[in-house]
């Protein structure tokens, strides 16, 4: 297969982990006889500094013309600490999702047996936890009508039937491929938008009689993820709730540096780690590249290249078992490995 990949490294640790992701993808393509080419584009704070736009039109065209986007991270403290800033790096991320029609964010949450001790939860709670959070990505408050003055502000949480139906369809289909259990998360006891979500989910559920469908208020879901994470198989929810719950779910594994994600929809899919740009670690060669590496596995799996994805996952597991780890997950007294060294070990293991 021929791949044309748009690479958006972004800000902070983005360029460091992006380089590892590209090296891993290149190694896998060489091993399996695929051809791959890369086109690099700017986004986030880097793009604001260079052209004044966090997602320039040229970057959009690069993404639109690619088979897939390998994305890393955006964000910079100089914008976080300025509430008056009119242009922000994160606006580039929202623009990319909207322009490419990426309405479904897929975030797997899984644990690694050798890292159970790193989880803030007890090992018996998290061992074997393996579920997927599906977050609606282009609607709700993040994209609704907004207003702010010195005394009043509001964000409009609006959803339409077609927006809800298409993301619920993704949720039901993922549940059919897994353990046939779907949890629809909302706040239907308070919010009108959530009541429409629940109404439509109840209408669609009979179309998937093999799926056990349950409904959970978002506050209860947040508690359940901590008390009994193994309860969940596939979770689907709206944009704002999904943003919060997926970050909560990410710490179950013990490190945000371990989990990848995919954003899919009408156009070019985007594969990225779930973590941010961690600007404090920029250039220090300490960032964990495994989430970026696993996002490459998700990329191959999206194109139904399961053997390629499985190889990456096998090598990542092997690196963890061999204690080839960046500092935040290294065992006490373990050898020192940086971003580049972990990446190089994985690439060599793929080539063997």
Q: Is 142 a catalytic residue?
A: yes
SS (H, E, C) 103-157: CEEEEEEECCHHHHHHCCCCHHHHCCCEEEEEEECCCHHHCCCEEECCCCEEECC
* Catalytic member of 4, 243, 282, 302: 243
The side-by-side arrangement of strands in the sheet containing 68-73 is 35-40, 2-10, 68-73, 270-273, 260-264, 104-110, 130-136, 234-237, 181-186, 212-217
* Catalytic member of 53, 60, 142, 159: 142
Q: How many CB atoms lie within 10 A of CB 119?
A: 20
* Catalytic member of 80, 82, 214, 219: 219
* Catalytic member of 187, 215, 233, 337: 187
Q: Is 38 a catalytic residue?
A: no
Q: Is 233 a catalytic residue?
A: no
Give the residues across from 318 on adjacent strands: none
Q: Is 154 a catalytic residue?
A: no
Q: Is 187 a catalytic residue?
A: yes
SS (H, E, C) the chain: CEEEEEEEEECCCHHHHHHHHHHHHHHHHHHHCCEEEEEECCCHHHHHHHHCCCCCHHHHHHHHCCCEEEEEECCCHHHHCCCCCCCCHHHHHHHHHHHHCCCEEEEEEECCHHHHHHCCCCHHHHCCCEEEEEEECCCHHHCCCEEECCCCEEECCCCCHHHHHHHHHHHHHHHHHCCCEEEEEECCCCCHHHHHHHHHHHHHHHHCCCCEEEEEEHHHHHHHHHHCHHHCCEEEECHHHHHHHHHHHHHHHCCHHHCEEEEECCCCCEEEECCCCCHHHCCCCCCCCHHHHHHHHHHHHHCCCHHHHHHHHHHHHHHHHCCCCCHHHCCCCCCCCCHHHHHHHHHHHHHC
Q: Are 10 and 273 in contact (CB under 8 A)?
A: no
List the catalytic residues: 142, 187, 219, 243, 247
């Amino acid at each position: 297969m021929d791949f044309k990949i748009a690479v958006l490294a972004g800000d902070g640790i983005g360029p460091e982990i992006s380089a590892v992701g590209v090296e891993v993808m290149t190694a896998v393509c060489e091993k399996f006889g695929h051809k791959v080419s890369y086109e690099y584009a700017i986004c986030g704070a880097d793009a604001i500094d260079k052209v004044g736009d966090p997602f320039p039109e040229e970057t959009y065209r690069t993404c639109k013309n690619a088979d897939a986007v390998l994305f890393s991270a955006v964000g910079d403290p100089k914008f976080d600490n300025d509430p008056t800033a009119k242009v922000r790096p994160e606006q580039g991320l929202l623009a990319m999702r909207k322009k490419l029609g990426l309405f479904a964010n897929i975030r797997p949450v899984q644990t690694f047996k050798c890292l159970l001790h790193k989880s803030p939860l007890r090992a018996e709670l998290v061992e074997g936890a393996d579920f997927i959070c599906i977050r609606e990505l282009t609607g709700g408050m993040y994209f609704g009508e907004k207003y702010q003055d010195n005394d009043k502000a509001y964000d409009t949480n609006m959803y339409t039937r077609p927006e809800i139906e298409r993301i619920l369809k993704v949720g039901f289909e993922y549940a059919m491929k897994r353990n046939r259990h779907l949890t629809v998360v909302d706040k239907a006891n308070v919010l009108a938008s959530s009541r429409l979500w629940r109404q439509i989910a109840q209408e669609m559920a009979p179309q998937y009689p093999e799926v056990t469908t349950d409904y959970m208020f978002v506050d209860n879901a947040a508690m359940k993820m901590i008390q009994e994470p193994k309860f969940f198989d596939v979770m689907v929810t709206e944009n704002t709730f999904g943003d919060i719950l997926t970050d909560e779910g990410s710490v179950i594994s013990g490190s945000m540096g371990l989990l990848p994600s995919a954003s899919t929809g009408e156009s070019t899919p985007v594969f990225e780690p779930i973590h941010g740009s961690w600007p404090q670690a920029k250039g220090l060669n300490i960032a964990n590249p495994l989430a970026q590496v696993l996002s490459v596995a998700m990329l191959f799996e999206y194109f139904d290249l399961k053997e390629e994805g499985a190889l990456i996952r096998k090598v990542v597991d092997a690196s963890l078992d061999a204690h080839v780890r960046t500092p935040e997950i290294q065992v006490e007294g373990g050898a020192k490995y940086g971003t580049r060294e972990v990446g190089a070990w994985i690439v060599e293991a793929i080539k063997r």
